[in-house]
Amino acid sequence: MRRWCAGVEYHGGAYSGWQAQNHHVSVQATLETALSRIANHPVRLVAAGRTDAGVHALQQVVHFDSDAARLPDAWVLGSNTQLPADISLPWVKPVDGTFNARYSALSRRYRYLIHNHRSRSALSGGRATWWTYPLDATCMHRAAQVLVGTHDFSAFRASVCQSRTPVRNLLAIEVFRRGDFVVIDVIANAFLHHMVRNITGSLLMVGQGRHPETWIAELLAGRDRTRAGMTAPADGLYFVGPRYPDGYGLPPPPEPWFPAG
């Protein structure tokens, strides 16, 4: 058996999320079916992180084991012929058997994209969340900085979250404007269920002027999810990708191209 690592890009609009589920179409099950056809045996995937229904990925990273005699290009080209247009396998590399797509990751990065305009966009629909009220991105950025560091993120944790602890180390968060788009970039060691979307929902309230900048600090200290903002829609969220130790020789997460700087 040889261990392989792969990068996966997908638009999540048609899927119930990453994780395979009975009676629902998932990214994981769709990709496992494609890889199994190329391997000529069942393939099971382990991913760097689970994404919710409707969430996209620039570089999800997975690993799988196979005794099939295949070159990296054969995995890539063969699988992409079996995949729908909204899922792509950009690269596959052999890795050491100790590699684990989930547990070997040092950090993970997400980007939340908001189309901040009075009128909705026909082209960014399903790829960015439309927010019609004016947003102050600078104010949102200042408010968000209190989240950097190791904290109990219970105020931004979904009620169905199965993590054993609400404590996470948020390494960086940046909010900035690009024309009609407001972008939220977040890097952490790991994330709770709905954590980025819940943080975004609260920052939207600050950016709209409905709460002061200090409100985010109050929410964090209070650890009460019911006091925080809404869970922002899934269509604006992108899993940019995980980062691993250099020794594995894996491609770093791509720099998001949308929106253009």
The catalytic residues are 52
> Which sign does the torsion angle of CA 149, 152, 157, 163 carry?
positive
Taking a C-beta distance cutoff of 8 angstroms, is the pair 27, 80 a contact? no
* Cα 155 to Cα 203: distance, rounded to the nearest angstrom: 13
Q: Which long-range contacts (CB under 8 A, 24 or more apart) does 71-80 make?
A: 72/4, 74/38, 75/4, 75/6, 75/35, 75/38, 78/37, 78/38, 79/31, 79/34, 79/35, 79/38
Helix (H) or strand (E) holding 253: none
- 244 annotated ligand-binding residue: no
Residues at the annotated binding site?
110
Q: Which residues are annotated binding-site positions for substrate? A: 110
